Structure 1
Amino acid sequence: MKKIASIVLFSALGGILTLGAYKLFLENPQIVIEKAVESKPNMVTASNTSRLIASTENTDFTVAAEKTLNAVVHVKNTSLKTVRDPFAELFYGQGSGIKQYSQIGTGSGVIISSDGYIITNNHVIKNATEIEVTLNNKKVYKAKMIGTDSTNDIALLKVEATNLPYIVFGDSNEIKVGEWVLAVGNPYNLTSTVTAGIVSAKGRDLKRNGNITDSFIQTDAAVNPGNSGGALVNTRGELVGINTAITSSTGSFIGYSFAVPSNIAKKVVEDLMEFGNVQKAILGVSGGELNNKAAENLDIDITEGFYIAGVADNSGAEKAGLKKEDIIVKLNNVKIATFADLQGFLRTKRPNETVAVTYLRNGKDYTVNVKLSKNEISKVSTLGLELKNLDKNELKKLDIANGVKITEISNKELMYYGVKKGFVIIAINNQKVNSVDDVNEMIATKTEGEVLRIEMLNLNGEIERYIFR
């Protein structure tokens, strides 16, 4: 009995000692840890996270989506391809080996007026013999081509309809890096689809077309095949870009997409409506982006801007006093950091408009007004030709609708085949030539090994065709 009592007593004493040790050494540190969790720095972090979550939740995309979904259309183009089978012609006679088949291409478009004007990408409807537009409500219309601009990859279509929903143009110069945007289009033949992202960069030059430079808006909104020609809109539902390209090794979206800025697209559309072609303005300067070497030679600290290497005679730039080694840093108070910035700005302007040019000379800032001019003459070294635009009276006199005149020729091969000064180039690879810029663009976009088929009007008013390899 005494043994049992001793065991119980020692057990009770052990329990008391264990509980005391727990209270003294273990429970108090736990309280300190709890206080640390509730310390002020952690509370601030939690508060910031809450504000971030609230900010994201308060960004409302529904208004922009509602404004744009019904104004973005599905565009289907049908083109006829001709295939020639030489073996069939050998056995069954000439002409028996020629077959035609239809090729279907799809993309997106944006209604920009209630009476049926639609903007899309040039590559969406290139070589189309028939264009069909399907609205979000499943109504189908035949579309008429109004005009195209291959440089900016923009095309303008028209359907015969009224009271259509449309998207208003926003100011693409005003959008900021980090701003929310929505991409609306028809990827993979799906009906109007909305994706969201932010503006990742502006004035992006992809150098995708040889010498032709673009000034794209870069976003991380998902864009896939079929989105081309669709809308890039801000959270107010205003059109700030036309989705045009993605960079991908797979052909599908992997993180970034690119859009033609709305200011460029709007100017192209207005020119196509008014003139039938794009009116391209030039400052009258040549050069490129300012680099470290040029900055060192000029003994300046900045490394951004457009470095003037030459000024064209009788140009607006020369008349305004711009000189070689001046550095253009702003146009109409818009920052010019790269060549793409300069090109992008000028593509929103027309000949005879005046712009305020801010430039650096000898370390000092100056601002002058420059009247923009039209590029009327161009030397195409690849062809050994100097070309000149034709005005309406000259076109009427020659009884042609388009073309550019050869004013000088140094290509001995062409001279051998009878090409002379005064000949008029009217088409290259079945695409009409309206200006000297068109010729430059078609030459610049020529792929390696591609054949150039040039149609010319000779001095007798006859069409001659030449092939360049």
Structure 2
Amino acid sequence: MKRASRLGLILLASAVLLAGCRRQGGTFTLPQPAAGSGAAANVEHNSYADVVARVAPAVVTIRSERRVRAPQQHPFFDDPFFQDFFGNRAPQTQQPPRELRQQALGSGVVISPDGYIVTNHHVVDGAEQITVELTDRRSFPAKVVGTDPPSDLAVLKIDASNLPVLTLGDSDKVRVGDIVLAVGNPLGVGQTVTAGIISAKGRRTGLSDGSFEDFLQTDAPINQGNSGGALVNTAGDLVGINSQILSPSGGNIGIGFAIPSNMTRTVVEQLINKGKVRRGQLGVYVQAVTEDLAQSLGLKEARGVIVSSVQKGSAAERAGLRQGDVITAVNGNAVNDANELRNLVASTQPGSDVTLTIVRDGREQQLKVTLGELTENGNGAGGQPGGGGGEGQSEGGKLGLALAPLTPELAQRLRLPEDKPGLVVTDVDPSGPGADAGLQQGDLIEQANRQPLKSVEDLRAAVQNAGERPLLLLVTRPGEGTIFVTVRPRK
């Protein structure tokens, strides 16, 4: 298990069965969800027994074994008696680490009658031996077909036939408040079913910087051992694969996270057919459009993401996407933040054409982009933290900043191109608007209200022209990239 915060973001372990699959021309394809399959069914009585009876046989237990190296101890000399007797003369040398076999428990879901099983990557990561146990007590050795760490999904295969499976529902149709059931083998006690609701959608936990997260959050009790298990609606459709919990102690406190079935479908089909997952790449850095940014840009509402920089040679550059463009939708799907854009782009195959809805200079327009391919160390659509804002005068002033033109000496010290225009922040008043906006020493302010800055006078004029609106700055931060920042000058 891992922890990602003081509360402890815990990776679980469990397994789920998916609905019957088919091969079309040799290609593995999971059945498409039936109409309305993502939505919860109306339950006319107070029991879910019929749903559980259909779902439970498709959820399996996964036992894995891996080798780990652990330091050897001196148990006798750790005893206080020996420490008192020998004092500092007790042996201090460490024994070489010894190799131990570590066992782990998780869950999984059968996704095809011939033995394909989906689970979490972290359930089988590094495992040398994997065993799948069915609810009828049969056990099978399993091989790993493929894993995808960014989504925390893996596909296993066992040599079996006529297995019960779960049908993948449409997780996009799941609504906050829908009743869901979690099925898995928590803490090894045996298959367990718990109930709750969908608490939220589109959650990101940040457990891994390179991960693609779009979690369903649920209060259905899940614990360690549930990883890879099923989250189903009241119609018995699989809507998520249980993956993590947030907990201060390692136990359930009603905050669990499941990978949506639609993301699962995309990843699983590629792992089975190609052995790896290919993802589209746009090649931009973006940040969320805040209320101040929207006001500075003259937008009617704060929605979408603003492009803070475009990577050279990227799909975005080839399509004509520009710094300062606001992306509000991809193929008609609304974009609210950088993570949403990243997931929408990554879920599309490289080489595919997508239509971006953008706002440029106050006018909405459509832009067609042929996506590139995300490399292992790439960042997809991109995304970086945004800040607040700033103006500048040579000393203090309405923004609380001290500024200087970018000289060759400053450029060398800050590792910036000498020909880059702008003003360098040399000091920040801790109580000023610039500090409130997140501006730092060493920041290079390139533009103010979309106009390039060559002198402090240019910035002073931009502050005066802004009037009551916040000032929009384009800032390059050494080592971090380019961001848009808004700041409200002192009156």
Residue 143 and residue 372 in structure 1: after superposition, are their counterparts in 2 closer, same or farther (change >3 A)?
A: same
Alpha-carbon distance in structure 2 between the residues aligned to 1:62 and 1:373: 48
Does the 8 Å CA contact 1:77/1:128 hold for their aligned counterparts? yes
Alpha-carbon distance in structure 1 between the residues aligned to 2:235 and 2:367: 36
Alpha-carbon distance in structure 2 between the residues aligned to 1:80 and 1:349: 37
The structural deviation recorded for 1:141 is 0.7
* Larger RCO (CA under 8 A, 6+ residues apart): 2
Alpha-carbon distance in structure 2 between the residues aligned to 1:130 and 1:109: 16
Q: Which residue of 2 aligns with 1:75?
A: 62
The structural deviation recorded for 1:300 is 1.8
The structural deviation recorded for 1:119 is 0.7
> Taking structure 1 as the reference length, what is the TM-score of the superposition?
0.63
Residue 378 and residue 197 in structure 1: after superposition, are their counterparts in 2 closer, same or farther (change >3 A)?
A: closer
The structural deviation recorded for 1:85 is 4.4
The structural deviation recorded for 1:346 is 2.9
Alpha-carbon distance in structure 1 between the residues aligned to 2:363 and 2:370: 22
Alpha-carbon distance in structure 1 between the residues aligned to 2:301 and 2:44: 41
> Taking structure 2 as the reference length, what is the TM-score of the superposition?
0.61
SS at match of 2:156: strand
The structural deviation recorded for 1:224 is 0.9
The count of aligned residue pairs is 323
The structural deviation recorded for 1:234 is 2.0
Q: Which residue of 2 aligns with 1:20?
A: none
Q: Which residue of 2 aligns with 1:48?
A: none
Task: Give unpaired runs (5+ residues) of structure 2.
Answer: 1-41, 76-94, 380-491
Q: Which residue of 2 aligns with 1:115?
A: 114
User: Is residue 311 from structure 1 mapped to residue 298 from structure 2 by the alignment?
Assistant: no
The structural deviation recorded for 1:263 is 1.6
Q: Which residue of 1 aligns with 2:284?
A: 285
The structural deviation recorded for 1:124 is 1.0
Q: Which residue of 2 aligns with 1:38?
A: none
The one-letter code matched in structure 2 to 1:257 is G
> Identity over the aligned pairs, expressed in percent?
38
SS at match of 1:271: helix
Deviations 1:90-117 (A, max 9, x none): xxxxxx9553221111010011011111
User: Is residue 66 from structure 1 mapped to residue 53 from structure 2 by the alignment?
Assistant: yes
Q: Whose radius of gyration is greater, 1 or 2?
A: 1
SS at match of 2:270: helix
The one-letter code matched in structure 2 to 1:105 is A
My pick for the range that moved more, 72-81 or 195-204, is 195-204
The structural deviation recorded for 1:304 is 2.7
Q: Which residue of 1 aligns with 2:153?
A: 154
Q: Which residue of 2 aligns with 1:262?
A: 261
The structural deviation recorded for 1:129 is 1.1
The structural deviation recorded for 1:211 is 5.6
The structural deviation recorded for 1:153 is 0.8
Alpha-carbon distance in structure 2 between the residues aligned to 1:121 and 1:311: 34
Does the 8 Å CA contact 1:267/1:347 hold for their aligned counterparts? no
Alpha-carbon distance in structure 1 between the residues aligned to 2:183 and 2:360: 45
My pick for the range that moved more, 128-137 or 178-187, is 178-187
Q: Which residue of 1 aligns with 2:341?
A: 342
SS at match of 2:226: coil
My pick for the range that moved more, 139-148 or 164-173, is 164-173
Q: Which residue of 2 aligns with 1:231?
A: 230
Residue 105 and residue 57 in structure 1: after superposition, are their counterparts in 2 closer, same or farther (change >3 A)?
A: same
Does the 8 Å CA contact 2:51/2:235 hold for their aligned counterparts? yes
Deviations 1:330-357 (A, max 9, x none): 2232222122222332342221222232
The structural deviation recorded for 1:267 is 1.5
Alpha-carbon distance in structure 2 between the residues aligned to 1:345 and 1:379: 15
User: Is residue 164 from structure 1 mapped to residue 151 from structure 2 by the alignment?
Assistant: no
The structural deviation recorded for 1:158 is 0.6
My pick for the range that moved more, 121-130 or 353-362, is 353-362
Residue 237 and residue 86 in structure 1: after superposition, are their counterparts in 2 closer, same or farther (change >3 A)?
A: closer
Does the 8 Å CA contact 1:64/1:233 hold for their aligned counterparts? no
Residue 67 and residue 344 in structure 1: after superposition, are their counterparts in 2 closer, same or farther (change >3 A)?
A: farther
Does the 8 Å CA contact 1:184/1:193 hold for their aligned counterparts? yes
The structural deviation recorded for 1:374 is 0.4
Alpha-carbon distance in structure 2 between the residues aligned to 1:256 and 1:379: 30
Does the 8 Å CA contact 1:284/1:312 hold for their aligned counterparts? yes
Does the 8 Å CA contact 1:207/1:213 hold for their aligned counterparts? no
My pick for the range that moved more, 309-318 or 298-307, is 309-318
Deviations 1:295-316 (A, max 9, x none): 2321224223222112234433
Does the 8 Å CA contact 1:267/1:349 hold for their aligned counterparts? no
The structural deviation recorded for 1:133 is 0.7
Does the 8 Å CA contact 2:346/2:374 hold for their aligned counterparts? no
How do residues 36-185 of structure 1 correspond to structure 2 at under 5 angstroms? 57-58=44-45, 61-83=48-70, 85=72, 97=96, 99-185=98-184
SS at match of 2:342: helix
Does the 8 Å CA contact 1:246/1:257 hold for their aligned counterparts? yes
Alpha-carbon distance in structure 1 between the residues aligned to 2:298 and 2:48: 49
Alpha-carbon distance in structure 2 between the residues aligned to 1:376 and 1:248: 33
The one-letter code matched in structure 2 to 1:261 is P
Alpha-carbon distance in structure 1 between the residues aligned to 2:190 and 2:164: 16
The structural deviation recorded for 1:65 is 2.0
Deviations 1:17-69 (A, max 9, x none): xxxxxxxxxxxxxxxxxxxxxxxxxxxxxxxxxxxxxx775576344323221
Alpha-carbon distance in structure 2 between the residues aligned to 1:56 and 1:183: 17
The structural deviation recorded for 1:204 is 0.7
The structural deviation recorded for 1:323 is 2.0
Q: Which residue of 2 aligns with 1:330?
A: 329
The structural deviation recorded for 1:87 is 8.5
The structural deviation recorded for 1:154 is 0.8
Structure with the bigger percentage of helix: 1
SS at match of 1:151: helix
Does the 8 Å CA contact 2:107/2:226 hold for their aligned counterparts? yes
Residue 301 and residue 188 in structure 1: after superposition, are their counterparts in 2 closer, same or farther (change >3 A)?
A: same
Q: Which residue of 1 aligns with 2:352?
A: 353
Alpha-carbon distance in structure 2 between the residues aligned to 1:322 and 1:115: 46
The structural deviation recorded for 1:292 is 2.9
